[in-house]
């Protein structure tokens, strides 16, 4: 009996030394269960391209939606712009920083682009939160252009009258109809 007890103790100690549970059935923990019990984040879109923007003029804001996809509340510590040309990108609206986002809910960050010089401008929007993959880094890009590079607008012929909502008739000179009057 004593020999059997010593053998069991030896087996238990060797399993402990190799990181195994002697009663382990070999099953791995379910990773989806781990994701459900921790904070997780989804960012959409993961990058913003502002394309051409006249130097020293601001673009319309572009929206980034941050969603808690985990099974636990997500706390957003900060949203900040960094990198060499960070000053060309600004956060216009931020409902995320300092917020606790419940599972399945979202917050938004609106970013503007105001190029300080011509050419391609780049920066990174960094979100720091309590998700496992924090910080999330989003690429921001835009192209600064001179105002002389902006093509002139061509007049549109598809306008509607503001008060009536009807399209104006096009008048062409000449006689139309049976009695010489426009139809």
What are the C-alpha distances in Å from 176 to residues 167, 182, 183? 20, 5, 6
**What total of structural domains would you count in the chain?**
1
To 5 degrees, how large is the angle CA 107–CA 33–CA 69? 10
Name the residue range of residue 94's domain.
35-149
Lowest-confidence pick of 9-13, 47-51, 77-81, 89-93: 9-13
Q: What is the pLDDT of residues 20-46, one digit of tens each?
A: 443 333 333 334 444 456 889 999 999
Residue 26, in any domain of the structure? no
Q: What is the pLDDT of residues 52-88, one digit of tens each?
A: 999 999 999 999 999 999 999 999 999 999 999 999 9
CATH of the domain at 92: 2.60.40.10
Residue 10, in any domain of the structure? no
- 3-state SS class at 101: strand
């Amino acid at each position: 009996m004593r020999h059997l007890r010593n053998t069991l103790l030896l087996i238990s100690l060797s399993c402990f030394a190799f990181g195994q549970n002697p009663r382990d059935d070999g099953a791995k923990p379910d990773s989806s269960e781990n994701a459900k019990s921790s904070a997780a984040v989804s960012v959409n879109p993961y990058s913003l391209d502002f394309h051409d923007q006249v130097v020293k003029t601001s673009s319309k804001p572009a929206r980034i939606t941050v969603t808690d996809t985990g099974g636990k509340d997500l706390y957003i510590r900060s949203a900040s712009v960094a990198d060499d040309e960070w000053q060309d990108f600004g956060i216009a609206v931020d409902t995320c920083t300092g917020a606790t986002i419940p599972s399945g809910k979202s917050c938004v960050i609106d970013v503007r682009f105001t190029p300080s010089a011509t050419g391609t401008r780049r920066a990174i929007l960094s979100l720091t939160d309590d998700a496992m993959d924090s910080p999330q880094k989003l690429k921001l890009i835009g192209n600064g252009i001179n105002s002389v590079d902006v093509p002139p607008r061509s007049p549109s012929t598809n306008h509607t009258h503001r008060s009536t909502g009807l399209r104006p008739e096009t008048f062409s000179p000449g006689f139309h109809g049976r009695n010489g009057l426009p139809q």
